[in-house]
Amino acid sequence: MKRTVSARQVASFIWFYWRRQGFWFFLLMVGLVVNVAVDIMFPVVSGYLVDTISTADVPPSPDQVDTAIWAGILFVGQSVVFFTAQRLKFRLWMHFAAKVMRDIITEGFARVQRYPANWHESSHAGATVRKLTRGMWAYDTIADTVYAALLPAALMLVGILAVLSWRWPLVGLFAGITSIFYVAVTAWLAIRHLPDRHRAHMDADSEVGAQVADAITCNSVVKSFGTEDREDARLLSLVDFWRRKAVSAWAMMENLLIVQNVASVALVAGIVGLIVAEWAAGRATTGDIVFGLTAYLMINAYLRDMGYHLQNLQQGVSEIEDLVMFHDLPMEPAVVKGAPALDLRAGAIDFDQVGFLYPRKDQAVYSNLSLKIKAGEKIALVGKSGSGKSTFVKLLQRLYDLDSGRVLIDGQDIATVDPVSLRRAVSVVPQEPLLFHRSLGENIAYANPDASEADVMKAARLARANEFIEALPDGLGTMVGERGVKLSGGERQRVAIARAFLADAPILVLDEATSSLDVVTEAAVQEAMEDLMKGRTTIIIAHRLSTVRQVDRVLVFEDGRIVEDGAYDELANREGGYLARFHAVQSSEDLSPALEEDEA
């Protein structure tokens, strides 16, 4: 994704979450102002205490002692009030920040889950995870920098410079000009020269995360080919690229520090020189000198920290840009607000002059495709790879929006109903099932989390998965590993079939659902699947004859068109037809040469 996020968009993104905590945000602002106001009084109170002591007689009179004691109490009291207000402010800030971070990560995750299928197909999962988590912590950096550093610093500088100007206009003017110059140059460097370097740094960081996730996810492939060294070298190359980008960003930060140091020296030289001149002219007391020096120390500290925090802020903005973009991307699919749930009565499907082109593809998959499937009908889709079989199922689930035409279920245009209700009505058993790194029981019950253990085991028995589950020490509580890696291909397939049994959806899609099963298990599962298909509209994407012989109709796809439509026996005996050739190939004793010729 090309970055087009501005500082204003980042500010708007953060304000979107802050304003939702309006009352607590108001309390935080009040606490901030009180804290800063008390802190501004520190140079004044310090000067008053020194003047009280330095101008007293030797020995001091009782009245002078009393005055000094009250000045000391005021000095100590100011510190007590400051630190108390600060601790209360930050204790409230902790809860506020944690709530906002919770909302940012959960809502960001929710949006990513609802992006169109083509977005997920084009994005690396590892990089997406990195962007989400990095964005959450980038918000923490930005929010802490703004609330705990930049806002107090700005208020402190204005307040201190106002008090200093009131006492010594010339000193205040010099300190103000120097501070403004310092902040302006620092901000200019941070805004003009840091963003591109930080973006390059963050992009490289995402690439490193994506490479690590990719290699670890495919570790079984790495091991099977013995390519650990190659993956090590690939990562080293990416990390070297990241290192160069990181050094470039960090070097610019060092340049900012040089500017800060020069401004700090100029500030102290000017303030000290002017105060000494005032003292020499008899216009400044010892307390005035303490006041001036204390004011300088506070100004210098806040300026120094402001430069550091501007760097942090710019880095945080660069790191949160991906999350802000996630917030602005449209979710899938576009529906009318408050769209009704699908009113599924029988499960009749109607593709009405459907036209569809995959994003970033030049050739349309479908052009005016029309097809009616009766409720309860069993349909098999056959054809070569890329002929449009899988696209048919994706459009039925509305994973993509159409370019033209309509898809209707029981007479309802699926583009006008709630997509969640639509997808819950269509149960899909894929050719390569994906399992969560959770227990077997949770994976089977995923579509029906309220199912009892007895219902889960019943579904497992129907899918012929109960035998291997019962043989495991932890049974349904067994963790299956990432993507189900601890199970064999056949076991994963049976878990997916059990999941479909438990989902009990009115429309069933079987994408070569028995492809990973041995012959004996396949025969048993076929019997169970025949029971599952009863009374349901069933679509079978088939590459093996054993899965299509008992269907009501076979649809042969070729280049996005249905070129054959009829009963299996009719099409298998049609001379020159695709299904007839398909039947002949799989019925012959030597399958390999014929299959290769057919695919060619």
**DSSP string across 370-423:** EEEE-TT-EEEEE-STTSSHHHHHHHHTTSS--SEEEEEETTEEGGGS-HHHHH
Q: Are 566 and 405 in contact (CB under 8 A)?
A: no
Positive or negative: CA dihedral 227, 232, 233, 235: positive
Strand pairing class (366-373; 537-541): unpaired
**Euclidean distance between CA atoms 317 and 13, whole angstroms:** 11
With 0-12 / 13-18 / 19 or more C-beta atoms within 10 angstroms meaning exposed / middle / buried, residue 15 is: exposed
Give the pLDDT confidence score for residue 591 in this predicted structure: 40
**Euclidean distance between CA atoms 228 and 219, whole angstroms:** 9
Give the pLDDT confidence score for residue 15 in this predicted structure: 92
Strand order in the sheet with 426-429: 426-429, 507-511, 537-541, 378-382, 553-558, 561-566
CA atoms within 13 A on the CB side of 507: 24
| Cis bond upstream, residue 59 (ω within 30) | yes
* Structural domain contains residue 249: yes
Place of tokens 């039925």: 396
Cβ atoms within 10 Å of 93's Cβ, excluding its own:
19
C-alpha angle 382-387-392 in degrees, rounded to nearest 5: 75
Residue type, 564: E
* Structural domain contains residue 442: no
**Euclidean distance between CA atoms 486 and 126, whole angstroms:** 21
**DSSP string across 157-222:** HHHHHHHHHHH-HHHHHHHHHHHHHHHHHHHHHHHHTHHHHHHHHHHHHHHHHHHHHHHHHTHHHH
* Structural domain contains residue 383: no
* Structural domain contains residue 562: no
* Structural domain contains residue 377: no
Q: Are 444 and 470 in contact (CB under 8 A)?
A: no
Determine phi and psi for 129, rounding to 5 degrees.
-60, -45
* Structural domain contains residue 107: yes
E strand or H helix at 71: helix 62-113
Domain of residue 150, residue span: 7-328
pLDDT digit string (tens) for the chain, length 600 residues: 445 677 788 888 999 999 998 889 999 999 888 888 888 888 878 877 887 887 777 777 888 888 888 888 888 888 888 888 888 888 899 899 999 999 999 888 888 888 877 777 777 777 788 888 888 888 988 898 888 888 888 888 888 888 878 877 887 788 788 878 777 777 777 667 666 776 777 778 777 877 787 787 777 677 766 778 888 888 888 888 888 888 877 777 777 777 777 777 777 787 778 777 877 777 777 777 787 778 777 777 777 666 667 777 877 887 888 888 888 787 776 666 778 888 888 889 999 999 988 876 766 788 888 999 999 899 999 888 778 888 898 899 888 888 899 999 999 999 888 888 888 889 888 877 888 888 988 989 888 888 888 999 988 888 888 888 888 888 888 888 877 778 887 788 888 888 888 888 889 998 876 666 677 767 767 777 777 788 889 998 876 666 677 789 999 888 888 888 888 888 888 877 777 887 676 666 434 443 344 443
* Structural domain contains residue 387: no
Residue 446's nearest CA partner among 513, 371, 489, 497 is 497
Q: Can you tell me whether residue 113 is helix, strand or coil?
A: helix
Residue 359's nearest CA partner among 382, 381, 333, 384 is 333
With 0-12 / 13-18 / 19 or more C-beta atoms within 10 angstroms meaning exposed / middle / buried, residue 529 is: buried
128: left (phi over 0), alpha (psi -120 to 50) or beta: alpha
E strand or H helix at 434: none
**Euclidean distance between CA atoms 389 and 559, whole angstroms:** 10
Q: Are 398 and 331 in contact (CB under 8 A)?
A: no
**Euclidean distance between CA atoms 52 and 222, whole angstroms:** 78
Q: Are 142 and 13 in contact (CB under 8 A)?
A: no
With 0-12 / 13-18 / 19 or more C-beta atoms within 10 angstroms meaning exposed / middle / buried, residue 434 is: exposed
Residue 493's nearest CA partner among 530, 470, 526, 471 is 526
Give the pLDDT confidence score for residue 599 in this predicted structure: 40
**CATH number, domain at 259?**
1.20.1560.10
Structural domain total, the chain: 1
* Structural domain contains residue 229: yes
Give the pLDDT confidence score for residue 334 in this predicted structure: 61
300 to 175, 182, 260, 268, 313: CA distances (angstroms): 10, 11, 10, 8, 19
Give the pLDDT confidence score for residue 597 in this predicted structure: 40
**Euclidean distance between CA atoms 550 and 553, whole angstroms:** 9
Place of tokens 């994906």: 434
